[in-house]
A and B are shown apart, each in its own frame.
Chain A
Amino acid sequence: MNKQMSLQDVVGQLRDGMTIGIGGWGPRRKPMALIREILKSDLKDLTIVAYGGADVGMLCAAGKVKKVVFAFVSLDFIPLEPYFRQARQNGDIEVMEIDEGMMLLGLRAAAWDCPFIPTKVGLGTDVIKYNADIKVIDSPYDDKEWVAMPALKLDAALIHANRADTRGVCQITSPDHHMDDWFARAAEKTFVTTEEIVDTEFFADEAEARMVFWERSQTTGVVHVPGGAHPTSCAPNYGFDVPHFQEYNASAKDGGFAAYADKFITGKSEDEYQQAVGGLDAIQKLPKPVY
């Protein structure tokens, strides 16, 4: 089965009102080419589930979002995502604010077809006060109460991988694959952009196959987009683009998202985007940050 498709094909499979999970973490390995494609589409009223960064900020700024399920939205070295912040402070979006670990449990519950997973995380906090959908239940085994973290079922998951074959075997060689495997498993359909398309034989090497974190049956479509995580990082291929993020962050104070989008995204193909940010070669030379 050949699962290769285009960015436009992926967005063509998304619908208004869908719940969409986005892999990566903050400024790391976000499927930004797909985010840009959504920004150019008519899609709206999306519910976004993410360990959020500029992916969430851009979608909020462009009015694509009804609700965000989040534990944080951050650019890391710029702690507060400027457009998510604006959306919250304007009261533009609904939220389900949960603990980072609760999000993992919600994705696992969806992946395992369980209605919920019990946890003590959230007890005693406003997470259970403000989320009417998250119930606290008695245990059949002890005298304590437990948070019943509900399944976070995704209509679609969007992920950026280092390598994939056309059958949907996806490899993440970044030091951390974050929760991407759980996003893939929690979703009805999973679309993966990748730095490199390889032959299936590539995975014959055990060390290579070891870095495949979900089965190809969980992958719906594969899009070849080298540099597609920019301006987020895709270790070990490239780091995140600090000056670009600074410009993006500054645009929130001066010009607004429309000015940023006009300069880089609106009416531009992904190739044209990459030209506007200095070209694929420049992206692939971005240094890795030191923590």
Chain B
Amino acid sequence: MATPAKDYTLAELIICANAAAYENDGEVLITGIGVLPRIAASLAMKTCNTDIMMTDSECWLLSEPNPLTRGKDYKQMNETWMGFSRIFDNVWSGRRHLTGGPTQIDRFGQTNISALGGTYERPKVQMLGTRGFPGNSISHANSYFVPSHTTRVFVEGEVDVVCTIGYNPERMPKGYTNDDIDLRMIFTDLCVMDFGGPNNQIRLVSLHPGISVEQVVENTGFEICIPDNVPTTPAPTEEQLAIIREIDPKDLRSKQLKDNPPGDRS
């Protein structure tokens, strides 16, 4: 029986929303980059989609997700070797859904983790580099997590360095349509969005408790699709919270969002 929790944090709300996105994915590799997406992927594997495959972030597929912190004697449940070269065999097969954490996202769903400002030859801020983002974006399902929903992240123009393909007609490769690209969901500290608007425009799916449409609009640098009735993001259940505590026994999730806000901010 699902009992909606009364007392939960925003981090836990986002974890549960992110986990729900994997429910109908079937037997695919789920990768959550960062603490909250990683807990979400593990929660999904233990609840709504037990067919999920997951790695230990090193080189093994696990039959049971690793807790985020674990003692010396913890025996991780390897099931398959999956070194980095084999990650790409999986990525290019399309059997994967990733939730990544880009620094910038634009109205096309294009994202940036490479560099900010200046010129490409001499950026103001060098970040990670494109990593595997280009290949992820054109090969399989992708969702994004944004811990702080602002116009610095959801930028007005294009992102500074386009690391992922999006629904941008100007950049659409020859022979490709929007249907060849699979951008799924965006989870922020304010709301959940998807790409279900006209021509895959970013669309508001649900507002976190206590957040208004106006707050989302104000903090987004471009126009998004806003349906007439926007529901509230469902609260975690007590059962989900119990599993989250098992996955994250030292409460690392409480340190991911500034001031660890409560789930309901009304």
**Which chain A residues have a beta carbon within 8 Å of chain B's beta carbons?**
25, 51, 70-74, 79-80, 84-85, 88-91, 97-102, 104, 119-127, 129-130, 136, 138, 142-145, 175-179, 182, 290-291
Contacts and interface: CB of A to CB of B under 8 A. Distances in A.
Contacts of A91: 121-122
Interface of B: 56-60, 66, 69-70, 81, 83-85, 88, 91-92, 110, 114-115, 118, 120-135, 137-139, 161-166, 168, 171-176, 181
A89 B135 contact: no
Given A71-B131, A104-B88, 12 more contacts: A71-B132, A79-B128, A85-B126, A97-B114, A121-B92, A122-B134, A123-B176, A144-B173, A144-B176, A176-B84, A179-B85, A291-B58
Tell me the interface secondary structure of chain B in the complex: loop
A175 B60 contact: yes
Given A123-B173, A125-B137, A175-B60, A97 B85 contact: no
A178 B83 contact: yes
B147 to A, nearest CB: 15
A121 B134 contact: yes
B60 to A, nearest CB: 7
A176 B130 CA distance: 22
B84 A179 contact: yes
A145 B165 contact: no
A97 to B, nearest CB: 6
A122 B164 CA distance: 8
A89 B122 contact: yes
Given A121-B139, A126-B162, A176 B59 contact: yes
Given A91-B122, A176-B59, A99 B173 contact: no
13 contacts: A72-B130, A80-B128, A101-B88, A101-B92, A101-B132, A104-B85, A120-B173, A123-B138, A124-B137, A124-B171, A126-B114, A144-B173, A175-B59
A138 B173 CA distance: 11
Contact of B175 (A25, A90, A122, A143): A143
Tell me the interface secondary structure of chain A in the complex: loop
B58 A175 contact: yes
Given A144-B175, A145-B175, A98 B130 contact: yes
Contacts of A145: 173-175
B131 to A, nearest CB: 5
A71 B138 CA distance: 16
Q: Which 5 A-B pairs have the closest CB atoms?
A: A124-B165, A144-B175, A91-B122, A88-B126, A176-B59
Contacts of A79: 128
B249 to A, nearest CB: 13
B138 A120 contact: yes
A72 B129 contact: yes
Contacts of B130: 71-72, 97-99, 125-127
Contacts of B91: 101
B129 A73 contact: yes
A79 B126 CA distance: 11
